[in-house]
Structure formats: structure tokens, C-alpha cells
Amino acid sequence: MTMLEQGTISIHTENIFPIIKKWLYSDHEIFLRELISNAVDAMQKMKMVSMAGEYSGEVGEPEVVITIDQDNKQLTITDNGIGMTADEVKQYITQVAFSSAEEFVEKYKDSGDQAIIGHFGLGFYSSFMVAQKVEIDTLSYKEGAEAVHWSCDGNTDYQLEASEWNQRGTKITLTLMEEEGEYAEEARIKSLVKTYCDFLPVPIKLGDEQINKQKAPWKESPSSLTDEDYLEFYRYLYPFQEDPLLWVHLNTDYPFIVNGILYFPKLKPDIDVTKGQIKLFCNQVFVSDNCEEVIPQFLMPLQGVIDSSDIPLNVSRSFLQNDRTVKRIADYIAKKVGDRLKALYRDDRDAYIRCWQDVGTFVKFGAINNDKFKTQIEDILIYRTTAELAAATVETPAEPAAEKAEDTTDDAWADSPADAPDAPTTSAEPPHTTLKEYLERNKERHENQVYYSTDEVNQATYVSLLNNQGLEVLFLDTFIDTHFVPFLEREYTDVKFARVDADLDETLIDKDQAAEIVDPTTNQTRSEIIKVLFEQSLGQPNLTIRTEALKSDTPQGAPPAMVLLPESARRMQEMMAMMQQQTMQFPTEYTLLVNTSHPLIQNLLTLSQGGVVQSDGQSPSGELANQICHHVYDLALMAQKGFDAEGMQAFTERSNQVLTRLTELAAK
């Protein structure tokens, strides 16, 4: 073998290799990604050279071949790409690569930002993280080129000599360090290729077996993919999960390059909405499971792939967060998600409603956190409602516009008239409505007043009471709605939002019945007498007791008593519990509303006034009336989940006492 050159790598720092090994050690497995990426790049350059007519020979089918020699702890990566001449090896390997290595390490070694490690730019020299010796055999495509062999054993000295290598392309041989023997294991190499290089557009072979998937669906035209193609890709990325609700295909090359497929998954109660689940790729090579700096925060729960060569990867996270291109890409992604939702709302409202329980969380979170997104989707925010929406006779929707070319404006949020959602068509799903529709429908009964429920089961009594009197209730019952209701109030300053258990609409109260005078000697109304009865029986000075006659079509259509929670006080307690990361306790301030028109309350009044007074000043009927007052109060609290352990025990004991007394009376 003829020695062509023996020299020293042209860098200033003598200990560059120890620095590389120390600083890159935490992600040392990425060396394989870097070497395979370089190989694919060399093959793509070979294709371009051939197409330009600069090479007349047979290009052949591109492939990367990995070979393992466990006995000698060697790993070889071979390509049939463009190859290098001796001068190019000196230029790209001994000068540019290592001097940039020094610059890279010097720039970031004091930053403490480990996020930069494992990103592109490490290139060829990342192989020294695992190898005690690195060798290159390469033959350029250029006519008359001679093969060369380059070797370096991890210090600043190298050797460049003639090689017996006779194939166009490059072979890199790593002699692994003793402690890095895992990279001479077949299973480990297959795992790394699947993780980092699964979607590279050329076959990657381990021996004779192709070990990468090769096809990247996000690089395909959306029109060439079927629904099953999208679902199959999702199942491949996220095995053992339920199928996604819908997806968005990203595909633009101006003013930046972004491809990808984002999926709306079904949300599970334990999902962490702050943790990114989107895989970041660059030119089909996996970079990170974390896209926090690239996509808007409210899209974190989305799943899928984003691939962009315009996202700078050799930088810190703080740089990414302030990069103008990254911000524009984030805007573009958010707008495409909004466009997809608006198109579904317009074209298939039933499907939109079916996935709203999950999709609505994304949309509401986005509306709260992103003004542009809020403006885009505010007309498609919907709410489940108690209104029996009639089959809407709305104007016929316009013919769908022809599919537009990808937006090429600099402002990702620029809208066109075709983006606006058409009027919703009749839905076979449970009734849903927009806030605008709700306010318009109810302006005669309660203008700019919205009644809402956060718990359909535990607030059923309150919802039923309003519904029976023709008052429509919206359900805001997801975990994000605690934040979303205050947001709506900020957006609609002239609209009052009241939870169904906060207070009662005036139309629910029968004022005439409440004013009936019962005792001409004291001039007390029935309501006043009942109020005194409950105050004396319960003996809770801080409890506000209010007596009203509630309207109802049947005597027992409304409950005998209800606990009302003041809206502002309840919200303040919810906020404090959230800030302190505690479970919200039952509010200390609330009102017991006693329904004077209910037969039970009327009978209770009669019972309290009857019977012979005994020596202790209490009559048997009066004692029973006292117990029933407690029982009515307990039932009202129970409907609000207002019991603690002690309260539940007391309720059980009183219930047994009341039932015992009633059975005694019935047995006489």
C-alpha cells in the first residue's frame, strides 16, 4: 500500500477527541445516524451528477450496507455514492470536519444546554465517540480517480494512502472501543436504524436483509394516500393505541420547507397535554421526540411527524424559540390544523361533533393561548346543549371551492373567503350549538345570559329544573372548561355566564305563591315561617337560607331544596385550589334554597305546627319535623357532593332515625 501522506489534522486544540467523547457521550448512539445520513447524501449527489451528464457509467441502485465483525469488534458502513478523491478527503475530513468540530464544542461546552447534543452537524467525527480507530476507503466517480485509504486512531495524527478498494463510493470502518461492543450486535444496529433511519429513501441493509421501512408517507402527495394509508402509518408509529380521530397533512415548500402528518388522538384522562408527542425529522432522518420549540404549545397532545430542513438543529432551545423561521413554521402548522377543522365542520358536521369531545380540548386550549388561532376557529367552537334543535332550515351551503394550491404568502394566517365555515347542516348527533346560535335563540327569554353545567350527573337536578321551564343549558364539562369559561367572559364582556347551581332565573320562581300570607296575627308568609323552621332546625348561622316557590308542571317536578353556590366565590376557590395543586374543597359560602311549593315542604310545615308539646318543650311531630329538615338539607348537599366523611356518617344516622319514626307512625 503506497503512502500518499502522513500528517496532522489542522486544528488548534490538541485534546479535541477527549472533548468530543466527553461532551457527546450522552447521545453517542447518534454516530450511526450521522454516518448513514452522509452515505445517503453521497448517493443522492451521485444521482444528480449522473442526471447532469457528468458521469456516463452505470449508477446502479443506491443502497447502504452495514457489516458487523463481532470477533474484531468492527462495524462497517458502505455506500455506492459519489466517493472522494485524495484531495477531497484532505479537504472534507482533515480540515473542515475537525475544525468545525472544535468550533462547535468551543461554542457550547460552557452553555450547559445538553439539548444541542444529538442534533445534526456532528457528522463524520461523531464516530470517534464509539471507535478507537476510524478508517475510510473511498473511490471517486471522477474519471481516472484512484482509491484512497484514510485512518486515524483517535488523536490528531492521520494517515492517507492508496487503497485496494475498487468500488465507487465510500466504506467507513469503525474499530469499536472495548466498552462500545454493543454496536457490533445485530439487534442493537437494527434498533438504531429503525429509530433514526427507518424512513430514508434508500434501502439500508444488514448483510442481505433490508432493515428500514424506506417509504415516508409524509413525503407523498396527499391525493395519493388513502385513509387506510394514514391509519396504517399511525399504527406503525403508535402501536397498541386507538385509531386517531382525524389527521392533517402538511406539505409546503415556500416560504419554508415543511412536510408532515399530524394526528388528533383520542385523549385519555392521564394524558400530559404539556408533553410533546410529535416526532421531528430532518430530510427523513429522525432527530427528536420533542417538538416543543417548533409547534405551538396547544398542539402538544397531537401525534405524528414533522419534517423540515429549515429548522436549525445545531442550536440551543432558547435560540429556536426566538428564531423567525421557526415562529413562521409554528404559525403555518397551527393554521393548517385550523383549516382542517373548519373544513370538517363545513363538510361533515356529524363527524365534527363525533370527535368534538376530544378535539374540543385542543381547540379550546388553542383559543386561550393563541389569538390568531382563536380568530380562525371561533365560529366553529361548539357546545353540547339541552335544546332540542329542530332540523335547521338554513340557506343551502355554497358549492365547495376547488382545492386551493398551498398557501404561498408570507403570513401563514392570511385567510381567504373560502376559509370561512358555512352554516351548519342538520346533525344526527346529540344537539350541539355555537355560542352565537345560543345567544340568538334565547335573546327573548334571557338576553346575554348563558346557563352552563360542568357535571351532567351531579347537576342533573338543576339542569332539569331549567330545562323544564324552557331554559337552555350548555355543557362545559371537560377539564379545560374551568379555564375556558373565564376566557369566554373576557371575550364576550356583555355576556354573563352562570353555572346552573349558582342562582335561579327569575322565570323559575312563582312570586304570587311565595307572597301568600298564612298567619294574620304575625303577618308572616308561609315562606317566612319555613325559613325560620330551617334556621332553627339546622342551627348554622353562616348558612344562608332562602325560601322560594319554584315553578313546576307537577307538584314534585322541582326538588324540595337545592344548594346554590355563588359564582364568583366558587370560581375563586377553584382558582386557589388549582394554584396550590390541591383538590377543591366544598365552598364555605353557599345558600340553601327551600322550595316552598313542594309537597314535602308543605307537609313539613304542617307537621312542625302540630302535636302535643311535652315537658321538654318539644312535640313528637316537631321533633320529626326537625329531623326531616336535616334530611332535606343533607339530600341537597349530596346532590352537590358536599359531604365529607363526618357528614356522610351523620346523614346515615339521621336517615335511619327518620325512617324509624315514619314506620312507627305508619304502624299505629
Q: Convert the pLDDT of each residue in 294-328 to its tens digit.
A: 888 888 888 999 998 887 765 555 656 667 888 88
pLDDT band per the 50, 70, 90 thresholds, residue 581: low
Q: Which residue has the higher pLDDT, 29 or 572?
A: 29
Report pLDDT for 542.
83
Is the model's pLDDT at 394 over the cut of 70? no
Least confident of 232-241, 402-411, 426-435, 628-637: 402-411
CA distances from 152 to 159, 163, 170, 256, 624 (A): 7, 15, 16, 39, 97
- Residue pair 280/317 in contact (Cβ under 8 Å)? The answer is no
DSSP 3-state of 94: helix
Is the model's pLDDT at 664 over the cut of 80? no
Is the model's pLDDT at 457 over the cut of 80? yes
Beta strand 473-475 with 449-453 is parallel
As a whole number, mean pLDDT of residues 16-42 equals 76
Which residues, including other chains, have CB under 8 Å from residue 223's CB and lie 6 or more apart? none
Closest CA to 426 of 350, 347, 353: 350
Is the model's pLDDT at 100 over the cut of 70? no
Report pLDDT for 513.
64
How does pLDDT run across 195-247, given as a tens digit for each residue? 999 999 999 999 899 999 989 999 999 999 999 999 999 999 999 889 999 99
Q: Which residue has the higher pLDDT, 247 or 392?
A: 247
pLDDT band per the 50, 70, 90 thresholds, residue 568: confident
As a whole number, mean pLDDT of residues 22-31 equals 69
Report pLDDT for 108.
46
Report pLDDT for 114.
38
Report pLDDT for 362.
83
CA distances from 49 to 80, 82, 142, 469 (A): 13, 8, 10, 79
The percent of residues in the chain predicted with pLDDT above 70, rounded, is 76
Radius of gyration, CA atoms only, the chain: 37
Separation between Cα atoms, residue 657 and residue 642, nearest integer Å: 21
Question: DSSP letter string over 16-32?
Answer: HHHHHHHHHGGGTTHHH
How does pLDDT run across 359-389, given as a tens digit for each residue? 888 899 899 989 999 999 999 999 999 987 3
Report pLDDT for 510.
81
pLDDT band per the 50, 70, 90 thresholds, residue 612: very low
Is the model's pLDDT at 274 over the cut of 80? no
Is the model's pLDDT at 132 over the cut of 90? yes
Report pLDDT for 421.
52
How does pLDDT run across 411-432, given as a tens digit for each residue? 555 554 445 455 444 455 678 9
How does pLDDT run across 463-486, given as a tens digit for each residue? 888 888 888 999 998 888 888 998
As a whole number, mean pLDDT of residues 440-449 equals 88
Which residues, including other chains, have CB under 8 Å from residue 36's CB and lie 6 or more apart? 64, 77, 193, 196, 197, 200, 204, 285
Report pLDDT for 399.
39
Helix H or strand E encompassing 210: strand 209-210
Report pLDDT for 275.
67
Report pLDDT for 614.
46
- Amino acid, res. 126: S
Least confident of 19-28, 56-65, 433-442: 19-28
Report pLDDT for 447.
87
Report pLDDT for 75.
97
Separation between Cα atoms, residue 370 and residue 366, nearest integer Å: 6
pLDDT band per the 50, 70, 90 thresholds, residue 113: very low
Least confident of 183-192, 304-313, 514-523: 514-523
